[in-house]
A and B are shown apart, each in its own frame.
Chain A
Amino acid sequence: MELDTIAAISTPMGEGAIAIVRLSGDKAIDIADKIYKGSKSLKQVDSHTIHYGHLTNPTTGETVEEVMVSVMKGPKTFTREDVVEINCHGGLVSVNRVLQLVLSNGAKLAEPGEFTKRAFLNGRIDLSQAEAVMDLIRAKTDRAMNVALGQMEGRLSRLIRKLRQEILETLAHVEVNIDYPEYDDVEEMTHKMFIEKAASVKKELEHLLQTSQQGKILREGLSTVIIGRPNVGKSSLLNSLVHENKAIVTDIPGTTRDVIEEYVNVRGVPLRLLDTAGIRETEDIVERIGVERSRAVLREADLILLVLNYSDELTDEDLNLFKAVEGMDVIVIVNKTDLPRKIDLERVREAAKQHKVVTTSLLEDQGVDDLEEAISSLFFAGSLEAGDMTYVSNSRHIALLGQAKQAIEDAIDAIEMGTPIDLVQIDFTRAWELLGEIIGDSVHESLIDQLFSQFCLGK
């Protein structure tokens, strides 16, 4: 729909100390005001002014971010609609938290190219750009769909399908009660039965939100560990990744002070590089924190970057590392191609098995592209041009899951209030539709199909 208030992160990921979440639409100021605490309500401030304050979660009262908020009323804005820009601390965690907050308070995540499209539709962009806008929509949407689908293969998509089926059966049950009131074969869905269903769905949604790999990656980054013998170039690799991608160093509360983590964004894949301090200081994680601890770190990792030395023979120590990371996602980096080769690449490939092997000279900045490509294709099963797209589709899933959970909670509240079940059904249906949006399937007709396959009807 063209009429929702939309929001998106409008600064590139991982760049600069400040990030901006932009809202556009007739509810932009309302939504921002709901979560903003400052000296004045945003509804009362003049247009094109900027204000210091804090964002709080209106349901929990918890303070989320320290922000500067610009309020710009239409039509003198980019989209000609009311626009609010929330300037927050840069970095994946904080900017994402702000986005989620905005989304859970009524904004809809912008579709690819949607700000531009609105600007056009509202007459802000001239005619000559129209074709380009259309191409943009087509191209970006298709890519976003591909990425989304790529990610959706597997466990999460199966879980969501299962969950939707559960909801659908409940919906069909209620619908049968409504459309076939004299049909005595189905017991009447009671509030108690409904609340049990709703509670079980809610639990699964919460579980999904907490544990889904996608969600975890988005909130925390893909935890990545660089391993290798001393002097193979781990520290150069770290520096290279950090330098190339302008990482933001963040102290994560709750982690011990000596384990510092750094975030980088590699072609849309947010990486959380573990124990970077360790690498910087001693160049050897095993040496520094002991075998047990390093094993623990390894177990936590989503991605292993295993570095070998091109100018040295493959050692037993190297092979032990291969063994230690068996069954994990690994990229093997054979570094130092600027020096004469001593390593047997055949043996490396043998040891690497199905894992990707990349050769680099980090010193001469050779092969870094290949490495980044390997990282991104490992997680999105395809080349990805625009990094932010990945981020968007991830964030979209989380937003939808969150909204679905909210809808289920609304349903539970309503049941507890004694609201008639066909009204509660509205929230339940909403949850089903939202989950459908995640897997790109919201066809209403399937409820009716369910109705007739589940029950034998005919009055």
Chain B
Amino acid sequence: MQYDAGSYDVIVVGAGHAGVEAGLAAARLGAKTLMLTINLDMVAFMPCNPSVGGPAKGIVVREIDALGGEMGKNIDKTHIQMRMLNTGKGPAVRALRAQADKFLYQQEMKKTIEDEENLTLMQGLVERLIVEDGVCKGVITKTGAAYTAKTVVITTGTFLRGEIILGELKYSSGPNNQQPSIKLSEHLEELGFDLVRFKTGTPPRVHSQTIDYSKTEIQPGDDVPRAFSYETTKFITDQLPCWLTYTSLETHQIIDENLHRSPMYSGMIKGTGPRYCPSIEDKVVRFNDKPRHQIFLEPEGRNTHEVYVQGLSTSLPEDVQRRILASIPGLENVQMMRAGYAIEYDAVVPTQLWPTLETKRVKNLYTAGQINGTSGYEEAAGQGLMAGINAGLNALEKEELILSRSDAYIGVLIDDLVTKGTNEPYRLLTSRAEYRLLLRHDNADLRLTEFGYNIGLIKEGRFNAFVAKKEAVEREKARLQSIFIKPTPQVQEIVTQNGGSELKDGIRASDLLKRPEMSYEHIELLVPSDEKLDSEVTEQVEIQIKYEGYIEKSLQQVERLKKMENKRIPENIDYDAITGLASEARQKLKEVRPLSMAQASRISGVNPADVSILLVYLEQGKIARVSNS
């Protein structure tokens, strides 16, 4: 029996990492928002590894924070350790990673949602959308509740027609034995969406008190307090370590002997899995010359003994998993608490989306997260935030927000998805970002705070602090560019002590800083500033001056990109009417319907001649309009 359950501006279906960001963002923009989840105890659940961040992903978390999202703040409050990775490399690839207390993470996020003014959290399994004339107007749950809304965001993760595969066993299920969402998947097909079947997996969990840690290496967090959020002021100092061990030859032997029982190789698994997160059986088969593989033992929280066995993702039968665990140094007598499994699920082919994450097929309907073919909490959260922002802005009849590839990793992620699509679960890698040097961990605030402020997710106080920081950076840069350092004995000493060659002449402070052996601290020693400068400011000054040449090169490329981005392609363009387009290009353009020339030029199968022809065609249209009027 269907009944009217109320009306909202925005409905978010799902409360995973995409859903929570979407719901919070929409609500904070001022949209009356409903968040529906299959199980209220699964809000912001981490069904896989208990960690947030890492290369590229960690920068996404910073970006989410700079735009006014929640993930950074939440992990800052609930982590068990943090590490800055790649500190020995350049600033562009430094990345923060936290091990999460996955239970605290959930609790904290759920409470934040409950506290949020415009946001209603409700348990319910959505089975159908209300779609009239190609416009989404609400959702209907299994219990018959019909909610209406101006916009709807679907963030169903791996729940869509989810199937767990464990050895010879295969059954319909969402992650972690949750109820799957089957009808919604069928309904999306009815609506005409193309779906693909993807696969991912997770390793077994074991009891900490049965691990012999003496046979493993300790992996502590950093000594320095760290945080993802620019607003975090309270730092967790009491950290828990992770532990490192390795598979043994015996492990590989067990796997080899039992490959015939692996659903991966027996053909039971049909979905495409991610290459960057292979199962242990995959690693052993594909790289059989490797004598061992790393296994990280990661606590799942402070108030539990459950330990995540990173690197041992598998869908081998449970009895084989037990034998594999016992073959690993330190785990000889380990007690397995949950078995690893693979999960297959439906995803929407993401080229069916506009860069706002609204679907092309159904207006006012957005999708975000794993349903769009990605993997990873951070990728999900980044999309969730953008979908929530755009669903909210749309509902409030404001202009939507699209981040460019040169603005953020989130921009790269979404552009890749909607322009190129993906044939495996998509993960962000730093190498996907052509402007990686500009998309750094340290400058996420400089890149994005203003966007967050303009749409209303960043509040006045934080924005003012950001402006003050930005000005301090500019002032200090200008100061160093204007000060001349003479080759005094003190200066020569500092230079040579650090392995540099003596100055022949006087030099601008900024030029001295460009020398590889010099850091801001050295310069400050020689020409101290009157201002008391925050370490975040001096870090910026140092990076911006030291890597000026490279940054400048990247900026020039961005300049060109922007010009192409400013050449807009009307949504209603008729590609069939353009003579001269190659047929493959025509077909791809019709499918992706790029919004700008920049996006068009990134579609595979659209070559430079097609881009030129399209440009000429567009200009022709412009001239025609001018001469008509």
Co-complex (A, B): yes
Q: Are B437 and A458 in contact (CB under 8 A)?
A: no
Name the distance in Å between A7's Cβ and chain B's nearest Cβ: 17
B619 within 8 A of A: yes
> Given contacts A1-B560, A117-B615, A459-B310, could you give 10 more A-B pairs where the C-beta distance is less than 8 Å?
A120-B616, A133-B616, A134-B616, A182-B294, A185-B290, A188-B88, A417-B516, A458-B277, A458-B278, A458-B311
Q: A2-B563, A426-B437 are in contact. Are A179 and B313 (CB under 8 A)?
A: no
User: B430–A178 contact, CB under 8 A?
Assistant: yes
How far, in whole Å, are A193 and B434 apart by their CA atoms in the complex?
24
Contact (Cβ within 8 A) A117 B616? yes
Chain B contacts of A175 at CB under 8 A?
429-431
Greatest chain B CB density within 10 A among A123, A171, A181 is at A181
Q: With A3-B560, A179-B56, A458-B311 in contact, do A138 and B613 touch (Cβ < 8 Å)?
A: yes
Known: A137-B580, A421-B89. A459 touches B311 (CB 8 A): yes
Interface-located stretch among B183-191, B347-355, B519-527, B620-628? B620-628
B215 on interface, CB distance cutoff 8 Å: no
In the complex, are the beta carbons of A121 and B616 less than 8 A apart?
Answer: yes
Contact B560 A127 (CB under 8 A): no
A422, B93: Cβ atoms closer than 8 Å: yes
CB of B171 within 8 A of chain A? no
In angstroms, Cα B88 to Cα A421, docked, is 10
- Partner among B92, B278, B617 whose Cβ is within 8 Å of the Cβ of A457: B278
Q: A-B pairs with the 6 shortest C-beta distances?
A: A420-B90, A418-B516, A456-B287, A141-B609, A452-B275, A130-B620
Residue-by-residue, is A251-272 near B (CB-CB < 8 Å gives 1, otherwise 0)? 0000000000000000000000
Query: Which residues on A sit within 8 Å (CB–CB) of B90?
Result: 419-423
Whether the Cβ atoms of A456 and B290 lie closer than 8 Å is: yes
- Which stretch, A159-167, A283-291, A441-449, touches the partner chain B? A441-449
A408 within 8 A of B: no
Query: What residue in chain A is nearest B559 (Cβ atoms)?
Result: A3
Contact with A along B247-267 (1 / 0, CB 8 A): 000000000000000000000
- Residue of A at shortest CB range from B617? A134
Q: Which residues of the partner chain B approach A302 to less than 8 Å between Cβ atoms? A: none
Query: For the complex, what is the distance from the CA of A134 to the CA of B579, rounded to whole Å?
Result: 8
In this assembly, does B575 line the interface, its C-beta being within 8 Å of a C-beta of chain A? no
Considering only CB atoms, which chain A residue lies closest to B278 in the complex? Answer: A458
- Looking across the interface, which residue of chain B has its beta carbon closest to that of A418? B516
Q: How far is the CA of A447 from the CA of B90 in the complex (A)?
A: 20
Name the residue of chain A whose CB is nearest to the CB of B420. A445
Q: B332 an interface residue at 8 Å Cβ cutoff? A: no
Contact A130 to B616, CB < 8 A, known contacts A181-B86, A184-B294:
yes
Are A177 and B89 in contact (CB-based, < 8 A)? yes
Q: Which residue of B lies closest to A2 (CB)?
A: B615
Q: A179-B429, A182-B294, A422-B90 are in contact. Are A137 and B609 (CB under 8 A)?
A: yes
Closest CB-CB distance, A244 to chain B, in whole Å? 33
Most buried by A among B56, B93, B294, B547: B93
Residues of chain B lying within 8 A (CB to CB) of residue A131: 579
A344 located at the interface, meaning its Cβ lies under 8 Å from any Cβ of chain B in the complex:
no
Which positions 117-136 of chain A face chain B at CB distance < 8 Å? 117, 120-121, 123, 127, 130-131, 133-135
A to B CB contacts below 8 Å, 25 in the list: A1-B560, A2-B615, A4-B560, A111-B608, A117-B612, A117-B616, A134-B580, A134-B613, A137-B612, A138-B613, A141-B608, A141-B612, A171-B431, A175-B431, A181-B86, A183-B294, A420-B90, A420-B91, A422-B436, A426-B550, A444-B432, A452-B275, A456-B286, A456-B293, A458-B313
Provide the bound-state CA to CA distance between A4 and B564, in Å: 12
Chain A: minimal CB distance from B62 (Å): 17
Bound: A262/B286 CA distance, A: 60
Chain A positions 167-193 with a Cβ under 8 Å from a chain B Cβ: 171, 175, 177-185, 188
In the complex, residue of chain A having the shortest beta-carbon distance to the beta carbon of B434 = A444
Assembly CA distance A188 to B89 (angstroms): 11
Residue A451 lies at the interface, judged by CB distance under 8 Å to chain B: yes
How far apart are the CA atoms of A182 and B310 in the complex, in Å? Answer: 12
Which B residue sits closest to A181, measured CB to CB?
A: B85
Q: Which of A327-350 contact B (CB under 8 A)?
A: none
Contact status A179-B431, CB under 8 Å: yes
Check B142 for interface membership: any CB of A closer than 8 A. no
Q: Is the CB of B92 within 8 A of A456?
A: no
A418 to B88, CA, bound (A): 12
Which residues of A lie under 8 Å from residue B608 when comparing CB positions?
111, 141
Q: How large is the interface on A (under 10, 10 to 19, 20 to 34, 35 or more residues)?
A: 35 or more
* A313 interface hit (Cβ, 8 Å): no
A370 at the interface (CB under 8 A from B): no
Complex: chain A residue closest to B296, CB-CB: A459
A315 to chain B, nearest CB (A): 53
Q: Is A326 an interface residue (CB 8 A)?
A: no
Interface readout for A1-34 with B: 1 if CB under 8 Å, 0 if not? 1111000000000000000000000000000000
Q: Within 8 Å CB of A133, what residues of B?
A: 616
B508-520 CB mask vs A (1 if < 8 Å, else 0) is 0000000011000
- Bound Cα distance A363, B547 (Å): 69
> Is there a chain B Cβ closer than 8 Å to A142's Cβ?
yes
> Which residues of B have CB within 8 Å of A2?
563-564, 615
Task: Specify which of B89, B313, B580, B617 lies most central, judged by the most chain A CB atoms within 10 Å of its CB.
Answer: B89
A36 to chain B, nearest CB (A): 23
Residue in B86, B277, B564, B627 whose beta carbon sits within 8 Å of that of A127 in the complex: B627
| B516 and A138 form a contact (CB under 8 A) | no
Bound CA span A358–B88, Å: 68
| Complex interface: chain A residues within 8 A of B287 (CB) | 456
Q: Which residues of chain B have C-beta atoms less than 8 A from A459's C-beta?
A: 54, 294, 296, 310-311
Give the residue of B92, B276, B517 whose beta carbon is less than 8 angstroms from that of A423: B92
Taken together as a complex, chains A and B put the C-alpha atoms of A177 and B93 apart, in Å, by 10
Is there an interface contact between A447 and B278, defined as CB atoms closer than 8 Å? no
A223-251 near B? 1/0 per residue, CB < 8 Å = 00000000000000000000000000000
From A111, A127, A142, A177, B623 is in contact (CB under 8 Å) with: A127
Give the CA-CA distance A417 to B547 in the complex, in Å.
12
CA distance A419 to B549 in the complex (A): 11
Which among B283, B554, B608 has the greatest number of chain A C-beta atoms within 10 A?
B608
A residues near B462, Cβ cutoff 8 Å: none
Q: Does B604 contact A (CB under 8 A)?
A: yes
Say whether B398 faces chain A, with CB atoms less than 8 Å apart: no
Cα-based distance from A4 to B560 in the complex (angstroms): 8
Assess whether A121 is in contact with B619, with CB atoms less than 8 Å apart. Answer: yes
Is B55 at the interface (CB under 8 A from chain A)? yes
- A178 & B620 in contact (Cβ 8 Å cutoff): no
Instruction: Give bound CA distance, A142 to B607, whole Å.
Output: 11
Residues of B within 8 A of A447 (CB): 431
Whether a CB of chain A sits under 8 angstroms from the CB of B361 is no
CA distance A65 to B151 in the complex (A): 67
Q: How far, in Å, is B539 (CB) from chain A's closest CB?
A: 15
Question: A1 near B293 (CB under 8 angstroms)?
Answer: no
Residues of A within 8 A of B277 (CB): 458
Residues in A with CB closer than 8 Å to B93 are 178, 422
Q: How far is the CA of A300 from the CA of B207 in the complex (A)?
A: 78
Nearest opposing residue in chain A for B292, CB measure:
A185
CB of B270 within 8 A of chain A? no
Question: Which of A1, A142, A182 is in CB contact (< 8 Å) with B609?
Answer: A142
B548 to chain A, nearest CB (A): 12
Known: A421-B89, A457-B276. A426 touches B553 (CB 8 A): yes
Q: In the complex, what distance in Å separates the CA atom of A421 from the CA atom of B516?
A: 13
Alpha-carbon distance A2/B313, docked complex (angstroms): 48
Residues on the B chain within 8 Å of A184, using CB: 294
Given A3-B563, A459-B311, the answer on whether A178 and B550 have CB atoms closer than 8 Å is no
Distance in Å from the Cβ of B498 to the closest Cβ of chain A?
11
A188 / chain B contacts, CB cutoff of 8 Å: 88
Contact A448 B432 (CB under 8 A): yes
Chain A residues whose C-beta falls within 8 Å of the C-beta of B564 in the assembled complex: 1-3
| Chain B residues whose C-beta falls within 8 Å of the C-beta of A457 in the assembled complex | 275-276, 278
B294 lies within 8 A of A452 (CB): no
Q: Which residues of B sit under 8 angstroms from A417, Cβ to Cβ?
A: 516
Q: How far is the CA of A456 from the CA of B252 in the complex (A)?
A: 14
Q: Within 8 Å CB of B310, what residues of A?
A: 459
